[in-house]
Structure formats: C-alpha cells, structure tokens
Structure 1
Amino acid sequence: MPRRIIKKYMPDPKKLQEQKSLRFLGKLLDDPGLLHLTRRSVATAFMVGIFCAFIPVPFQMVLAAAGAMLLHCNLPISVGLVWITNPVTMPVMFYGTYLVGAWILGVEAKPMPDELTLEWLGQLLNDAWIPLYLGSVIIGIMMAILSNIGIRLLWRWHVSKSWNRRKRRMLILPEKKQDIDEE
C-alpha cells in the first residue's frame, strides 16, 4: 500500500500520549501496533472500522477505538472509517440494514416515506429496532470480512507490482551499463 501517503496523515505517537483528553487511556496508547502500517494492521483496522460504522449506536468512534485496542490494529484508520456513516449516508445504510433484518426475520418492512421526519424515524426505531440491529450486525460482519480480504489482496497486489517493477529496473540497468561501456 502507499505507506508514504498514509504516514503523512498519521498522528505522532508522542503527541497522542501528550494529549490531555487521551490521558485516561494511559498505557493503552503505548502499544506500538496501534499506529503500525502493516498489511495485517491496516486490514484489521478496516474490519473494525467498517463493522462499527454499520452498528447504529452513538459514539461509534469510541467503539472502533476499543476494537482497535483489543485487536492491536491501526487506531486512526479504524476510527476514521466510522465516518462512512455520516448524516448523508446514514439513512440509506441503516434503512438497507433494516430491510435485511426484516427479511431474515420474516417481518414486513415499513416503506421509506417521501419525506424523512424525526417522528417517522422515532416510530421506526420503536417498532423495528430488532430487525435494524440484526441486519446491521449481519451486514456489518459481511462488509468487515470483505474489506479485510479486499485490503489484504490490494496490499499484496501493490507489493507484487512494486517487486516486479524493481526486477525490471534491475534487469534494464545492467544492459544500459553495457551499452555505455561499449561506446
């Protein structure tokens, strides 16, 4: 993966430990695995972040941070991926997970109204929280597994491509050197 690009946006470990708002985490921030950029760390961070993004709870970022600490994966990536669910994408994502949960439970799903109101949302949550959470967990697990596999394959492809490019350069360089020596 393009490590240099990701590293530009990664926080400095010492600055994280000096943050007053993060002092309650204490020794947990000393884990070097929380900021590593390895294939396993990034793929697991994607898995944690995307799973947490699909769970309709407040403080998803805290949940993602706890998951990253528990699984020793990249903390900033897992927390940042929670923002997949934002005010624009949230209604569509959670309504889709609700439909999946209703389908699995065999419950008739309520149609989405023409105009989204807080009253409709409150009624939907009151009536349909079980299908919503069931669908969210199932879709969250599926998307987390797919993202983990996808990141591992993408990372492997990128490394393989880099190695092949290096091999080609190493093969071309001796030929050019011979051409220069012959002149």
Structure 2
Amino acid sequence: MRRSRFFKHMPTSQSIQENRYLKPLRRYLHHHYLWQFNRRGVAGGMAVGLFFGILSPIAQILLGAIGSVIFRVNLPVAAFATLVTNPFTVPPLYYAAYRLGKWILGEDSAADDGFDPNAVGAMPELKGDVSSWWHTALEWVQGVGPQLMLGLLVFAIVSALLGYVLVSVIWQLQARYRWKQRVRRIQQSLED
C-alpha cells in the first residue's frame, strides 16, 4: 500500500495487530476498510470522527475508533477527525450548542440575549467538602444539560453529514482532475 508523506508516521494495520496491549482487540482490527485510504473509508471516517468529536466531551478518540470498527470506515481518519474539538474550539462550540438547544426547546426569549455565566459557565469549583461539590455540579448539569446535549447532538449530526459529503466531493473532484491530467499527457505524447 502506498502511503503519502502526511500519513507515513501513522501506525499500520500490522503494527497495531502486533501490539501486545491491543491483542484482545485483534479480531476487530483486521478489516481492510479500517486501514485503506479510499473515498468511502475516508469520508466515513471523517463523519464518524466529527460525530464523536463533537458529541462526546471525553474519550473522543476511543469512541471514534469504536465507531470506525462498527461502521468499517478508516480508523486513523476517524481518530484524527475527533480532534475538531480542542481547548480553543470547545468554549464557542458548547456555548453555540447551548443556545441552539435552548432555541429548539423554545426556551430562548428576546430578553435573554446576553451571556449568562452562571448558567453556562465553567463547572462549579470545589469549595468545602466533596458531597456539596457533587450536589452543586449535579444542579449545574441539570440546568444546562438538556439544552447543551440537544445542541451538541444537532451539531454532531450536521457536521458528520457535511464532513462526509465534503470529503466525497473533494475526492471525486480530485479524481476527475487526475484523470484529465492523465488524458492530456497521453494526448501530448501521441502528438509528439
């Protein structure tokens, strides 16, 4: 298999299957679609990675890898696409998801157009004993949780669909361009 310069440092199927820590998962990691860079695998990997990268606040790469095994799409692309959420993108993404969730649930009013740091702000700090922190954290999650999760679900689905379509379109355009270049080279060689 020919590997591009960008992907030459990625682990291969063989190196992952020979890893002693991944030995129990070896039977799930053997499918060739997990490692081939074709249109279906890459576009599907992008969709799976974007979906779990946006939807899950923790274990995104693990969930992306599991999703790629289930849907038999490119695993490295799925793992890489989960990195769409990072410390720079999470705050605006979560705030926009919270606002979208409030709008979908019909809780968004014209009077509430400002940012409320108490409603969406950072999770409560640990002050006092742990039991009071858990109680405060649970209240915080109950206050913003439904709106935030609904907004994240919508963003995850839309971004996964857009990612799949965008990669497929770019892949096809690139294939057409290469084909035209090949035809042009053949025509030039025949003319000479």
TM bin, normalised by shorter chain, reads: 0.7 to 0.9
Q: Does residue 105 in structure 1 map to residue 105 in structure 2?
A: yes
Task: Give me the identity figure in percent.
Answer: 28
Partner of 2:24: 24
Partner of 1:127: 143
- 1:4 is paired with a residue whose SS is coil
Size of the aligned set, in residue pairs, is: 174
Shift of 1:73: 0.4
Find the aligned partners of 1:22 and 1:167 in 2 and give their Cα distance.
46
Gaps of 5+ in 2: 126-136
Find the aligned partners of 2:96 and 2:140 in 1 and give their Cα distance.
13
Retained in 2: the 8 A contact 1:56–1:133? no
Q: Does residue 149 in structure 1 map to residue 154 in structure 2?
A: no
Retained in 1: the 8 A contact 2:123–2:140? no
| RMSD value, Cα | 2.4
Find the aligned partners of 1:119 and 1:144 in 2 and give their Cα distance.
32
In the superposition, the TM-score normalised over structure 2's length comes to 0.82
Q: Deviations over 1:112-159 (max 9, x none)?
A: 54xx64438x56534110011111111110111011001000000000
Q: Does residue 137 in structure 1 map to residue 141 in structure 2?
A: no
Retained in 1: the 8 A contact 2:17–2:29? yes
Shift of 1:111: 1.5
Shift of 1:6: 4.6
Q: What does 1:37-116 align with in structure 2 at a 5 Å threshold?
A: 37-108=37-108, 111=115, 113=117
Find the aligned partners of 2:162 and 2:59 in 1 and give their Cα distance.
24
Find the aligned partners of 1:112 and 1:40 in 2 and give their Cα distance.
43
Gaps of 5+ in 1: 177-183
